[in-house]
Structures are given as C-alpha cells and as structure tokens.
Amino acid sequence: MPETVPRIVIVGGGFGGLAAAKALRKTDARVVLVDRQNHHLFQPLLYQVATSELTPGQIGSPIRGILGRHRNTTVLMGEVTGVDSDRRCVFFDSVDREGVALDYDYLILATGASHSYFGHDEFAQFAPGLKSLADAVSIRNRILFAFEQAETEEDPRRHRDLLTFVLVGAGPTGVEMAAALAVLVRTTLSSEFRRVDPASARIVLIDMGQRVLGPFAESLSAAARSRLEKLGVEVRLGHGVDHIDADGVIVAGERIVSKTVIWTAGVAPSPAGKWLRSETDRAGRVRVRPDLSVPGHPEIFVVGDTASLDQDGHPLAGVAQVAMQQGRHAALVIGRRIKGGPAPHPFRYFDKGTMAVVGKGFAVLQSGRLHLSGLLAWMAWAAVHLEFLATSSLRVSVFVQWVWMYLTGQRGSRLIVNHHGSVAGHTRVPSSSEHPSSSEHPSMSAR
Ligand SMILES: Cc1cc2nc3c(=O)[nH]c(=O)nc-3n(C[C@H](O)[C@H](O)[C@H](O)COP(=O)(O)OP(=O)(O)OC[C@H]3O[C@@H](n4cnc5c(N)ncnc54)[C@H](O)[C@@H]3O)c2cc1C
C-alpha cells in the first residue's frame, strides 16, 4: 500500500485489538497490530487449561493466522514500552531490538490488564495469578505436582497440607477455578492414586466480600455458593487474606497450611495511562471520551480493560464483550474519519448478559431481568463460549473435547511440562518464571 495511505497502529491482539483489526479489514488504511505474544488468547477458558480440561492450543490462536487474509494488515511481535503522542509514534522492543519506533496516524491501545495484589506484590511468588497461557500451565503443573508429591510422601500427616488448595478471590475466575478443581479431584483423579485419596483434597475459596460472584444478583450468588459447597469447596467469606507465604495463607488470624495458593482476585490495567500521561480513574484505567478517544488526542483511542468509561452512571466492566464492542467502535470512528463521513453516535455498550460456570453442567446466567442457574444456563454458557473462540478449528476441537470429557471424564492434558526442578529427592514446584514461555511474557516476573 502507498505510504500516503493513513497508518493505524493497534497495540494488543486481545479481544479489543482483534475486533478493531477485523473491523478495519476493508478500510483504506495500513493497519499494523503489535502484540508481545504471538497469539490471541481466549482468557475466559484459561481455568480449563489450569485444571487440565483443555490444552493451551485449544484456547490460543496465532494472531498472524487469524489476520492472515487481511491484505491491509501487518502483524508485529513486540512489547510496546511507550508512546510519543507529539511525534505520533509508539516504541516497542522486538525480538532482537529495543525501542523500535513505529509512526501512526491513528492509534488504538488495547493492552488489557494484569494481576493486582492490592499493594502486596510480595504475595505474587507464592500465589500465582491466571492471566496468560504460561500462568495456566504453571498452575496446572503446581496442582498436578501436589498430587504426585502427596503420593510419594510416606508421612500421612503431610498429605492434608499437600492436598489443600487455596483460591484467593471469589469472583467469576475464583468460582470457576474452585469448581473445576473440585470436579478434577473427585472424578478424573479419584481412582488413580494408591497412597492418597484425591477426593479428600481440601479446596478453600476465600473472599473479603459477603458473597461469591459479587457482580451477580444475590439469588445467583447463593445458587453458585450452594453448588460449590455441594462439590465440596469450603467457602470462606467476610475476610481477606492477611498474609501469604510458602506455607500457605493467614486469614482472620487462622493459618491454612497449603502448598498451592492461587490468586484469583484483583486486576490492574496496563500502563497505557502512563504512556499517554492522560487522566486515569482510581484503578489506573485511561478515561476516554464517549467516542473512545483520549481527551486532547482525537487520533488516539483506548479500548477494553485498560479504558474507563461510564454508562448510565456506572463504569463499564472489564469483560470481553465491552472490549470487542469498543474495538469495533474505535475502528468505525477511524474508518469514517478516513472516508470523510459523519462521526458515528457515541459508544454505547449493549449488555448481552454475564455468566459463570460452576462445575460440570451448572452455570449461572444474568441477562437483564433473566436470572437462570443450572443446566440450561450451562448450555447457554457453552454455546456462547464456543461461538466466541477465535477460529472454527478451535470451536470444533473444544466442542469435541467437552463432549468427550462429559462422557468419559478424560481430560485434554494432564502433563506436567518442564518439571526439571526435581532435585535429589526434593520435588520443587516450577514457578512461572521457570516456564520456557515466560520469556515471551516479560511482565510475568513483576506479578
Ligand atoms: C481468567 C480470566 C477469566 C475471564 N473470564 C471472562 C468471562 O468469562 N467473560 C468475560 O466477558 N470476560 C472474562 N474475562 C475478562 C476478559 O478476558 C477481558 O475483559 C478481555 O480480555 C479484555 O480485552 P482487552 O482487549 O482489553 O485485553 P486482552 O484481551 O487482555 O488483550 C490485551 C492484549 O494486549 C497485549 N499487550 C499487553 N501489553 C502489551 C504491550 N505492552 N505491548 C504489546 N502487547 C501488549 C497482550 O499480550 C494481549 O494480547 C476473564 C479474564 C481472565 C483473566
């Protein structure tokens, strides 16, 4: 394409960035998408990789492959480190170079969020969060390791501690993960161990709030809690964790000994606000105008988890649908400007509803006045998640795997990958920083 055609740089190939790139396919522009990963990740199913239901390849897809037929689009792998809004360029570190400059006429920042330990970053080394494929594989390793270690442990008094799993945060991720873990230990693993009984594993879900799934209606929170308890999950509400270390957690003055603590609580937005030096909300998300552009910079748009916009007096939630609709809207605004057409209406989020799955065949669904829990909600959950996977091959593969697992209990992958930390009788749990793919994800060490 000639150099005179405007260049649109999109940073981030997640839900928001990818939706924008797809919507710009027919626009007379050179689109460049930069992501630090080579793949788009379907984060809502990360917990299924962490609990061995699906393989990493079933929820991630190369961005280059997804956009391969978009003739106006170039995909670059690199970590963006800053934006010079006066010079209109972004800087990124590529595989072998630092600070590569990339000019833009329009910029869409869709860099998502990472974990927040609410000022206790020291918890990160003991309680990994779930945000990337590397995180999910690392957590899967930890869970499977715990069972292997318990099976080889001669002292039965230690079995209980090894098989205690603590999840901190009872939002959708914590609830889905706790329920999936309960199903894993009580079905697939239950008959395979001889010295320990996997079904005796203790799964503790902790939250400082008064109910699980806080953003849902109270009746759905209660249904989810009751389902969790039926699955054997110990739900402890009303107190956050005071401390996390190598021996477990302290909550309300009580120590819960555990070798596997998983952080499913807060998220923090990407540093896009710092790059732009623009106004942010309390969480650090960039405040955007109703057309999703940044105040004072009509050529820069911020979408998804890293943007802050109120609708009907409430901030929009950090969910995939918001990111996708915003990505498409930013593309529409830019496309109209390039064509010289009228500006579209301000962005308005169309809420199709929220869902969370609680183990096999049970979900809660909230859409307007419709509140549903049970099998029907689970079927809706399954259909929606299949629909939003990035490619048809993933849809087929996940569908087949779900049916297979539903019927047989057999899982996608129960491999402990990269357990080279086994040293002279001491089985060391590999941290995410030891995982080979962590080098693709430089921010992981900061979590
Ligand atoms: C475990 C989990 C479960 C979830 N479950 C649900 C659910 O059930 N339903 C739902 O609606 N939402 C769910 N969400 C939230 C949903 O995934 C997010 O709201 C959504 O991904 C936000 O889209 P985004 O485009 O803003 O960011 P993301 O999808 O996170 O994409 C950000 C992209 O930017 C890239 N990036 C970040 N920084 C840089 C940089 N400096 N340089 C280059 N590239 C960069 C990242 O690699 C990534 O590809 C879940 C999230 C998690 C973590």
DSSP 9-27: EEE--SHHHHHHHHHTTTS
Region of residue 126 (phi > 0: left; psi between -120 and 50: alpha; otherwise: beta): alpha
Q: Is 36 in the pocket of ligand 1 (CB under 6 A)?
A: yes
The pLDDT value given to residue 212? 98
Ligand 1 mean position to 425 CA, how many Å?
Answer: 39
- C-alpha to C-alpha distance for 216 and 211, rounded to whole angstroms: 10
The pLDDT value given to residue 6? 97
Nearest to 32 by CA among 107, 111, 112: 107
Ligand 1 mean position to 345 CA, how many Å?
Answer: 26
State the burial class of residue 392 (Cβ atoms within 10 Å of its Cβ: 0-12, 13-18, 19+): exposed
Residue 177 and residue 51 in contact, taking contact as beta carbons nearer than 8 Å = yes
- C-alpha to C-alpha distance for 169 and 277, rounded to whole angstroms: 31
The pLDDT value given to residue 409? 84
Ligand 1 mean position to 268 CA, how many Å?
Answer: 11
Instruction: Convert 116-127 to b/e letters by CB count within 10 Å (16 or more is b).
Output: bbeeeeebbebb
Beginning with the edge strand found earlier in the chain, give each strand of the sheet holding 370-374 in spatial order. Answer: 354-357, 363-367, 370-374
Q: Which of 46, 116, 319 best tests ligand 1's pocket when mutated (most atoms within 8 Å of CB)?
A: 319
The pLDDT value given to residue 4? 82
Q: Is 111 in the pocket of ligand 1 (CB under 6 A)?
A: yes
Q: Is 308 helix (H, G, I), strand (E, B) or coil?
A: strand
Q: Is 112 in the pocket of ligand 1 (CB under 6 A)?
A: yes
Ligand 1 mean position to 193 CA, how many Å?
Answer: 37
**Cα of 109 vs its chain's centroid, Å:** 18
- C-alpha to C-alpha distance for 116 and 361, rounded to whole angstroms: 31
Nearest CA to ligand 1 atom 19: 319
Tokens of residue 60, six digits? 């991630």
Q: pTM to 2 decimals? A: 0.92
Q: Is 13 in the pocket of ligand 1 (CB under 6 A)?
A: yes
Residues noted as catalytic: 176
Q: What are phi and psi of 204, to 5 degrees?
A: -115, 125
Q: What are phi and psi of 428, to 5 degrees?
A: -100, 135
Beta bridge partners of 422: 427
Residue spans of alpha helices (H) in 200-298: 218-230, 272-276
Ligand 1 mean position to 326 CA, how many Å?
Answer: 13
Report the DSSP pairing between strands 241-245 and 248-251: antiparallel
Residue 47 and residue 165 in contact, taking contact as beta carbons nearer than 8 Å = no
Residue 394 and residue 387 in contact, taking contact as beta carbons nearer than 8 Å = no
Q: How many CA atoms lie within 13 A of 395 on its CB side?
A: 10
Residue ranges of the chain with per-residue pLDDT less than 50: 422-447
Residue 205 and residue 345 in contact, taking contact as beta carbons nearer than 8 Å = no
The pLDDT value given to residue 439? 33
In the chain, what is the straight-line distance between the N-terminal and C-terminal CA atoms, in Å? Answer: 41
Closest ligand 1 atom to 355 CA? 8
- C-alpha to C-alpha distance for 295 and 89, rounded to whole angstroms: 18
Nearest CA to ligand 1 atom 53: 131
Helix axes 375-388, 392-408, angle to 10 degrees: 150
- C-alpha to C-alpha distance for 155 and 417, rounded to whole angstroms: 27
The pLDDT value given to residue 441? 31
**Cα of 6 vs its chain's centroid, Å:** 32
Helix (H) or strand (E) holding 366: strand 363-367
